[in-house]
Amino acid sequence: MSALICGSMAYDTIMVFHDRFKNHILPEQVHILNVSFLVPDLRREYGGCAGNIAYNLKLLGSEPLPMATVGKDFQPYAQWMSYCGINQEFIRTVEESFTAQAYITTDMDDNQITAFHPGAMSHSHLNTVPTDRGIKLGIVAPDGKDGMVAHAQQFAAAGIPFIFDPGQGMPMFNGEELLEFVELATWVTLNDYESQLMQERTGLKPEELAKKVKALVITRGANGSLIYTDGQCLEIPAAKPKAVLDPTGCGDAYRAGLLFGLLQDMDWATTGRIASLMGAVKVETAGTQNHSFTLAAFRERYHENFGHSF
């Protein structure tokens, strides 16, 4: 039994400007902005929600099935997925497009200027949720808008339980559209900011949203997470990272932990703690797919953090 992961695959090009943007952007001249930043440090990372979630779920010993649309430049990423042993059966190449990519420039104050090109991600609706692969559950993560809508409907029609994870795709949807997702979904996961936005757009408090699904998960970074289920709210403590280097991708790592627990039919207290530890492991390494561990080592860290085993 496996998990189908619907979402984006992307390249992240990350550049570091060894100064501060504020020293080069004059507020009184922003209407004629024309600036150039020298960026001596540059790295290109493999990313995208589907790619990140699949990578982390594979580390936990599961067999993820990422489903995404990619471009003609995807070969290096495909080679990396092959190296990691991740199934690519449901990765569709759109030859006239580039793979989605983000260009991120960070200054010494950790301010960021980002340009995002959706590329092939805009064609995600061309993929269809398969119904003949023994898929136990799925997730609808940030992707092209039409694809997110179609895949949620297809999961529901096929009777496959799934997580709705709007993430950075939330601004694409109004309150009515978000409620339609919630009505179709089995579980919903949000970070604390997204939770506030969901409340504003739907008019529903977390307790009210939770009544529409089997569980509502709200992550709060270093403050842990909340899981609303069966009329109660479980407080999941944050695991302790050995270092805090890069929070990018922590949410995807956490969601991989949720999928792992659900695939194993674990209780929510255990599932939430596994997800919490996945986020802590990720934050210790720069980039979204550069961390690694053995399952035995992960189990040991779990015991160290929470005082029991799974």
Q: Which domain holds residue 221?
A: 2-21+42-303
Domain annotation covers residue 37:
no
Domain annotation covers residue 33:
no
**Strands of the sheet with 100-106, listed across from one edge:** 41-47, 10-16, 100-106, 112-117
Residues 6 or more apart from 1 whose CB is under 8 A from it? 134, 135, 136, 263
Domain annotation covers residue 120:
yes
Which backbone phi and psi does 124 adopt, to 5 degrees? Answer: -60, -25
Give the type of residue at 177: E
Residue 270's SS3 state is helix
DSSP 8-state code for residue 204? -
Which among 197, 223, 221 is positioned nearest to 209, based on CA atoms? 197
Domain annotation covers residue 30:
no
Domain annotation covers residue 158:
yes
Count of structural domains within the chain: 1
Domain annotation covers residue 68:
yes
Q: How far is CA 243 from CA 167, 246, 281, 282, 286, in A?
A: 25, 9, 9, 10, 11
**CA separation for the pair 48, 56 (Å, rounded):** 12
Q: How far is CA 210 from CA 33, 141, 226, 229, 231, in A?
A: 46, 19, 11, 7, 8
Cβ atoms within 10 A of the Cβ of 39, count?
A: 15
The CATH number covering residue 124 comes to 3.40.1190.20
CB 142, CB 166: distance < 8 Å: yes
Per-residue pLDDT of the chain (310 residues; tens, 9 = 90+): 799 999 999 999 999 999 999 998 878 777 888 889 999 999 999 999 999 999 999 999 999 999 999 999 999 999 999 999 999 999 999 999 999 999 999 888 878 888 999 999 999 999 999 999 999 999 999 999 999 999 999 999 999 999 999 998 999 999 999 999 999 999 999 999 999 999 999 999 999 999 999 999 999 999 999 999 999 999 999 999 999 988 889 999 999 999 999 999 999 999 999 999 999 999 999 999 999 999 999 999 999 999 999 9
Which backbone phi and psi does 6 adopt, to 5 degrees? Answer: -90, 125
CB 154, CB 128: distance < 8 Å: yes
Query: Can you give the pLDDT at residue 248?
Result: 87
**H helix or E strand, kind and range, residue 57:** helix 49-59
Cβ atoms within 10 A of the Cβ of 269, count?
A: 16
Query: Can you give the pLDDT at residue 33?
Result: 83
Query: Can you give the pLDDT at residue 208?
Result: 97
Domain annotation covers residue 28:
no
DSSP 8-state code for residue 212? T
Domain annotation covers residue 308:
no
Maximum Cα–Cα distance across the chain: 60
